[in-house]
Chain A
Amino acid sequence: MDHSTESGAQVRVTFTTQEEDIQLDESKRQLLVPADIRRYGLSRILNSESMLDTNSIPFDFLVNGSFLRGSLEEYLNANGLSLETNITLQYVRSLIPPTYEASF
């Protein structure tokens, strides 16, 4: 299977969360995003005006029970999945306070 990044490849994601105060409108839960996107990019999208319109809440993302490390494309590759897959991303407030993030 070859998922080498031709720049501009997209993948469809579905956002879910268990936290009541940061639910997305039903119509905003599915989104096409760049396949090379990582936690930080996803977090920026969620915070943006057309999504949650929140002030820079850092988010972490659970995919299939574990935290997303690396890009979505790397996740797909590692699991033998194609770009046709609709990835369910559960977002949670990051446990790491944003001020500490620079030192990691």
Chain B
Amino acid sequence: AIHLADDADKPPRPLRDFNEALNMWTTFQTKTQSLSMSLSSQLRLILTPSQSTKLSGSFRTGKRLNIKKIIPYIASSYKRDKIWMRRAIPTKRSYQILLCVDDSQSMGDTLNNSGSAGRLALESLVMTSRALTMLEVGQVGVLGFGTDVFVAHRLTDPFASHDAGARVLQQFTFKQEGTDMVNLLRRTIDHFRDARLTSASQGGEDLWQLALILSDGLVQSKDHARLRPLLREAMEQRVMVVFIVMDDARDAQGNAKKGSQSVLDLKEARFGSDGMPVIHRYLDSFPFQYYLIVHHLDDLPGALAGLLRSWFSEVQGS
């Protein structure tokens, strides 16, 4: 069952004009071409397992005898005859990757405000989806979220043409009146569970599931605590969640742009039980273990590749 099929009883979401979206896709793709290729080649090294040179296993025929199997072989009157080792072929990995893009109002207008988080998110979406498509390591889907979650591109659909890309961009207008990250995580975990079941028929492959959230990072702080158990559940389901904070408030040199403020400096005020205001850094309670702050699109390939590299070495080392 597909949980995220468009609900018939909901009012239709506003759509961007198709030609405008097509223009955006073409412009962003041209602009980010070299970044996509850079990300793609960095990810190729990380996501595809290296050739194994070790001999292992127990087989009836093979390259070298497994000495430990000889005595049981004789003792079993030559019945336990799987005594040979072979050069192990690394299990082929396949991926299901969901790009989850924040469609809420705080992301700002993409066209009129060239410095908005929304524009940076859509450029990142184009760049990353192109890189993943070039890699051909599996399925790429796109979810949009705000108050609701919607499927902007199904995992099972090809992502090859400008038209497909434009149809994705059409759906992001940044008009949703809330940013429900709890709902997003719930639906992402469910979506991946269904997707794992339908892909299981292919068999023999090692399936990895990865969610990349592209957002300005502004979540109601009261939700931070509710997100933690969901993030644990995702980890138990072997779904990796990376939060990419679109922070356009600094230029490429890291200097603050006039009039906008980085989420890195954002503070929140609360009133203690004594009625006194207490001020904390917003990111101090941010619940995502794996997150990147991207000030400029050029930062993204290196930062994302670095994070995935350290994550893979962590899961393989344990």
Which A residues contact B (CB, under 8 angstroms)?
1, 6, 8-10, 12, 14, 26-34, 41, 44-45, 48, 50-51, 82-86
Contacts and interface: CB of A to CB of B under 8 A. Distances in A.
B261 A30 contact: yes
B230 to A, nearest CB: 18
Q: Which of A6, A32, A33 has the most CB of B within 10 A?
A: A32
Contact of B256 (A26, A31, A50, A85): A26
Q: Which of B106, B176, B279, B282 has the most CB of A within 10 A?
A: B279
Contact of B220 (A1, A9, A50, A85): A9
A27 B265 contact: yes
Majority-rule SS of A interface residues: mixed
Given A27-B265, A30-B266, 15 more contacts: A8-B220, A9-B220, A12-B266, A28-B267, A29-B261, A31-B267, A31-B269, A33-B268, A41-B277, A45-B277, A48-B276, A48-B277, A48-B279, A83-B220, A84-B176
B179 A84 contact: yes
Given A10-B220, A84-B105, A33 B269 contact: yes
Majority-rule SS of B interface residues: mixed
Interface string B243-284: 000000000000010000100011111110000110100100
Which 9 A/B pairs are nearest by Cβ-Cβ distance?
A: A82-B177, A84-B105, A32-B268, A8-B222, A30-B261, A84-B106, A50-B279, A45-B277, A27-B265
Contacts of B265: 27, 30
B308 interface: no
Interface in B263-307: 265-271, 276-277, 279, 282
Contacts of A83: 177-178, 220
Given A27-B261, A84-B104, A10 B178 contact: no
B282 A32 contact: yes
B55 interface: no
A10 B220 CA distance: 6
B4 interface: no
B99 to A, nearest CB: 21
B277 A84 contact: no
B34 to A, nearest CB: 34
B30 interface: no
Contacts of A34: 269-271
A84 B265 CA distance: 18
Contact of B222 (A9, A30, A33, A50): A9
